[in-house]
């Protein structure tokens, strides 16, 4: 055995992504793994769905049985004991409820990205699953990271973002009694505002200028994965969100040109 392997080694932090596979690699499991690695965290996965897609749209979805999703999670936890996990595309009610039971049983720090509808309009969460997301999964979250469209579904009313973002984020946090990061990227104007809100009324704002000529496909996955990684490293929620927001902005300001468009550099 090499001498450098005979000394006790400190394991790096581990994070788990419970999400769908993106065949175009611009979002989902593929982006989560890239983001975990960029934060210095070992990434593990439980794949909920296979999707046939590229940045222009989703043409087909093949969901895994809920029991198989949880078996992946259990195998990861038996060996790696992840410090934090994130959920992305869960697709149906059975998977949502099974993942909620897994988090409840294992008491793992969980970032919930409530993926519901793709930018292309494809449905990524069935109507039946939305109720289970609200009642069973979100209350277990360390943080929930909706965009404005997802927030409107969770609040049951239109959400505007911008100068309304703080009030809307607070409303979500106080209704569901967990912290929310309301993302403003789908809003209007050049100044985009993300707001982190806690149920006790505290808030923090993160602003950025809109970046032109970039495909933002996978930006939500990138942000939630980066937050998860920073939590796995032991950072508090505010510090983790700050670091993740900075990471995403840098990845968009210095993009990769691939397939005919500028994409986020992970």
Of 235 and 187, which is predicted with more confidence? 235
- What is the rounded distance in angstroms from the CA atom of residue 265 to the CA atom of residue 124? 24
Query: Which ranges of 133-236 does DSSP label H, i.e. alpha helix?
Result: 148-155, 165-176, 219-232
Mean pLDDT of 216-220: 90
Residues 18, 48 contacting (CB under 8 angstroms): yes
- What is the rounded distance in angstroms from the CA atom of residue 236 to the CA atom of residue 24? 33
Tens of pLDDT along 144-155? 999 999 999 999
- What is the rounded distance in angstroms from the CA atom of residue 64 to the CA atom of residue 198? 34
Residue 175 pLDDT > 70: yes
Identify the band that residue 5 occupies on the pLDDT scale cut at 50, 70 and 90: low
Least reliable range by pLDDT among 106-110, 185-189, 200-204: 185-189
Return the closest-CA partner of residue 224 out of 14, 13, 19, 12.
Answer: 19
pLDDT at 75: 98
Tracing tokens 């982190």 back to the chain, one arrives at 196
Residue 188 pLDDT > 70: no
The half-sphere exposure of 212 on its side-chain side, counting CA atoms within 13 A, is 2
CATH code given to domain 8-263: 3.40.1190.20
Of 204 and 122, which is predicted with more confidence? 204
Query: Is residue 28 within a helix (H) or strand (E), and if so which, with residue range?
Result: helix 28-38
pLDDT at 221: 95
Identify the band that residue 121 occupies on the pLDDT scale cut at 50, 70 and 90: low
Question: Pairing state of beta strands 84-87 and 14-22?
Answer: parallel
pLDDT at 10: 81
Residue 260 φ then ψ, to 5°: 95, 5
Mean pLDDT of 190-217: 92
Mean pLDDT of 52-63: 91
Residue 264 φ then ψ, to 5°: -60, 130
pLDDT at 120: 59
Residue 123 pLDDT > 90: no
Query: Is residue 86 within a helix (H) or strand (E), and if so which, with residue range?
Result: strand 84-87
Q: Which percentage of the chain shows pLDDT scores above 90?
A: 80
Contacts of 228 (CB under 8 A, 6+ apart): 15, 17, 36, 84, 85, 86, 109, 111
Looking at every residue in the chain, the average pLDDT score rounds to: 92
pLDDT at 127: 85
Counting every residue, how long is the chain? 266
Tracing tokens 């996955």 back to the chain, one arrives at 221
- Scored b (16 or more CB within 10 A) or e, 9-24 reads eeeebbbbbbbbbbeb
The CA dihedral of 176, 181, 182, 185, to the nearest 10 degrees, is: -160
Residue 257 pLDDT > 70: yes
Tracing tokens 């195998």 back to the chain, one arrives at 75
pLDDT at 2: 58
Cβ neighbours, 10 Å, residue 50: 17
pLDDT at 145: 97
- What is the rounded distance in angstroms from the CA atom of residue 58 to the CA atom of residue 116? 13
Q: Domain coordinates of the chain in residue numbers?
A: 8-263
Structure tokens at 140: 């277990």
pLDDT at 34: 98
- What is the rounded distance in angstroms from the CA atom of residue 195 to the CA atom of residue 21? 28
pTM: 0.94
End-to-end CA distance of the chain: 35
Residues 31, 225 contacting (CB under 8 angstroms): yes
């Amino acid at each position: 055995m090499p001498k450098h392997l005979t000394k006790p080694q400190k394991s790096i932090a581990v994070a788990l992504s419970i999400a769908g596979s993106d065949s175009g690699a611009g979002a989902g499991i593929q982006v989560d793994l890239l983001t975990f690695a960029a934060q210095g965290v070992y990434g593990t996965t439980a794949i909920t769905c296979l999707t046939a897609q590229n940045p222009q749209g989703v043409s087909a979805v093949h969901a895994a049985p809920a029991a198989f999703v949880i078996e992946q999670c259990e195998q990861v936890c038996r060996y790696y004991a992840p410090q934090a996990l994130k959920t992305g595309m869960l697709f149906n009610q059975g998977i949502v409820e099974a993942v909620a039971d897994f988090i409840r049983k294992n008491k793992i720090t969980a970032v919930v990205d409530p993926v519901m509808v793709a930018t292309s309009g494809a449905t990524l969460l069935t109507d039946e699953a939305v109720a289970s997301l609200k009642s069973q999964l979100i209350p277990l979250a360390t943080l929930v990271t909706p965009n404005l469209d997802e927030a409107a579904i969770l609040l049951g009313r239109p959400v505007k973002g911008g100068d309304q973002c703080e009030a809307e984020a607070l409303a979500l946090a106080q209704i569901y009694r967990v912290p929310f990061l309301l993302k403003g990227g789908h809003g209007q104007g050049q100044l985009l505002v993300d707001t982190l809100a806690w149920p006790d009324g505290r808030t923090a704002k993160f602003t950025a200028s809109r970046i032109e000529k970039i495909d933002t496909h996978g930006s939500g996955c990138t942000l939630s994965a980066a937050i998860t990684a920073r939590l796995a490293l032991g950072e508090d929620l505010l510090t983790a969100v700050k670091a993740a927001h900075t990471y995403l902005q840098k990845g968009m300001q210095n993009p990769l040109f691939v397939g005919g468009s500028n994409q986020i550099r992970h």
